[in-house]
Amino acid sequence: MKIVIAAAMEEELEPFRGSYRLQSIVKRGKTVIEEVLDQPSYSLFLVETGIGKANASASASLLCETIQPDVIINTGSAGGFLGEVEIGDVVYGTKLTYSDVDATGFEYKLGQVPQMPSDYVLNQKWVEIFDSLEKPKGYSLHKGLIVTADSFMSEPSFVTKVKEAFPKARASDMESTAIAQIANFYDIPVVNIRGISDIAGIKAAESFDNHLDTAALHAFQETNRLIQLLVKEN
């Protein structure tokens, strides 16, 4: 079994890099692919994608071609929506879509790239795995819609617009739907596990700086728990 852990930033991968012995195998553009050594029963890779949809798409294409993983676990931080989550919580994305794509004039759904799916829904198998996880101490787990935009969610008016358009959204990031779109071409599942570093529109940039390490740590802990279940089942 080949598992890829992908995150946008060095800080989001730091807990993983501090836990494994690694060998760098690809560096191209913003993409850094490292193989975890000394894995007896499965293959594990870390991928730093760079921030934003274009970087994430380029990394996803490269890793799907070179690694050909069985699953991509997209992790790191995200901005949560007020009333849905708290800082430090972890959201499992069961549905992904874009919040900054609008081709509704051509009868596409809001968030839908023309000629592509309107959203990317996680297979029920993965939802059942999420539901089987024990509740952690110190933070809460959530599951639901995560939206993706090439905008950090700091402007309150933009946050309000996105939340009105996607009332079920739990969180927003800048990479996950792009990775899912590319992985969809290769029929590779993408599991999204995001720690909440800030609440969208409420001093989001300051909160991100203050809580990024906590969000990354909690996402790391949940990712490791998921991997242990996958390995046990396979």
Reduce the DSSP state of residue 75 to 3 states and report it: strand
Reduce the DSSP state of residue 156 to 3 states and report it: helix
CA distance 82 to 171: 9
> Does residue 209 carry a catalytic annotation?
no
- Considering the candidates 12, 48, 84, 89, report the single residue annotated as catalytic: 12
> Does residue 198 carry a catalytic annotation?
yes
Query: Are the beta carbons of 79 and 85 closer than 8 angstroms?
Result: no
CA dihedral sign, ordered 114, 156, 163, 165: negative
- Considering the candidates 35, 198, 209, 222, report the single residue annotated as catalytic: 198
Among the residues of 32-185, which ranges form H helices?
53-66, 124-132, 156-165, 176-185
Instruction: Supply 156's token pair.
Output: 């309150």
Return the active site residues.
12, 198
